[in-house]
Each structure stands twice: as structure tokens, then as C-alpha cells.
Amino acid sequence: MNNCIFCKIASGTIPAYKVFEDENYLAFLDIAPVNPGHVLIIPKKHFVDITETPDEIVEGAITLAKKIGGKIIASKLGEGFNIGINTKTAAGQVVNHFHIHVMPRLPNDKYQLWHGKNYAAAEAEKIVEKLKLEE
Ligand code: 5GP
Ligand code: ZN
């Protein structure tokens, strides 16, 4: 944990361009923005990823992401925004301290979203059983 870059940013050991800070959260500019105004939101406390972060901390972070997204649009840094949470290496998580990306999007910024695949015959029926949640 001592080697965690986002813990160092949270403690002020490493500088960052901060857009919000309170006792639980910090929001700051990503060092390599998808578009200018790309913000990362972190809990100050170290959790490896969303699966290990308490629900109430996740909820507060999502609410902050919504507010920052509104600011992106109001400031015209984006006409829209994507919210991203990369979870584990397979999904592109590089920094193992839970964080939310809020990424400004502009028409013709050349980024693409995922391209969907098709389900094979009878595959969706099996998959949905694996994913059903208890109430
Ligand atoms: P991940 O792939 O883990 O979801 O994204 C990590 C993000 O952290 C990347 O977008 C990367 O540019 C950003 N990042 C990595 N190191 C630093 C840093 O030292 N300062 C800031 N502001 N952002 C960083
Ligand atoms: Zn950390």
C-alpha cells in the first residue's frame, strides 16, 4: 500500500491538479487525459478495486462522478462524458487503488465504444442463469 501512487496523491506526497477534496474523496486530473478535463475520483482510503470497496464509498464516488460530469458539460470541456471503472488487469486496471474515470467526450473525437458480439444459439439462456442476483 505504501507504494500506491494514488495513496501518495491522497496524502499529498505526490502533487496533482485537484478539482475536489473532502475527508473521504479526492478528484484530480488524469495525467494522460483521454480528452482535456479527464478526472479521476478516488477514495482517500486504499481499496484495491470496486469489488473490495464498501458500497457506501462506491455510492459517494458515483455521486461525485455525476457532479463532475455535469461540470464537464457546463464548462464545455465535453458535450458528453463517459464514466469508467476498470476492474482487474483483464479489464485494463493498472493502478490498484479503486478509482472512477470521468472522461469528457466531444463529437468527432475519434474514440469508439465497444463493439458487441453475437450470442451463439441457446447461449444467452445459459449466461443469464449465471448472472441472476438474489433479491
Ligand atoms: P486504470 O487503467 O488503472 O483504470 O487507470 C489509471 C489512470 O491513472 C490512467 O488513466 C493514468 O493516466 C492515471 N495515472 C497514473 N499515474 C498517475 C499519476 O501519477 N498522476 C495522475 N494524475 N494520474 C495518473
Ligand atoms: Zn492506494
Tens-digit pLDDT profile for the chain (135 aa)? 579 999 999 999 999 999 999 999 999 999 999 999 999 999 999 999 999 999 999 999 999 999 999 999 999 999 999 999 999 999 999 999 999 999 999 999 999 999 999 999 999 999 999 999 998
Residue numbers of the domain that contains 109? 5-131
CATH label of the domain that carries residue 126: 3.30.428.10
Q: Which atom of ligand 1 is nearest to the CA of 92?
A: 2
Please tell me if the CB atom of residue 5 comes closer than 6 angstroms to any atom of ligand 1: yes
Pairing of strands 100-105, 39-43: antiparallel
Active-site amino acid positions: 99
Atom of ligand 1 nearest to the CA of 16: 22
Q: How far apart are CA 53 and CA 60, in angstroms?
A: 11
Give yes or no for a contact between 38 and 103, defined as CB atoms under 8 angstroms apart. Answer: yes
Ligand lying nearest the CA atom of residue 94: 1
Q: Answer whether 92 contacts ligand 1 (Cβ < 6 A).
A: yes
Domain count, the chain: 1
- Closest residue (by CA) to atom 17 of ligand 1? 31
Q: Which ligand has an atom closest to residue 8 CA? A: 2
pLDDT in tens, 17-56: 999 999 999 999 999 999 999 999 999 999 999 999 999 9
Question: Best of 26, 40, 53 to mutate for ligand 1, by most ligand atoms within 8 A of CB?
Answer: 40
Calpha distance 59→49 (Å, rounded): 14
The answer to whether the predicted template modeling score (pTM) of the entire model surpasses 0.85 is yes
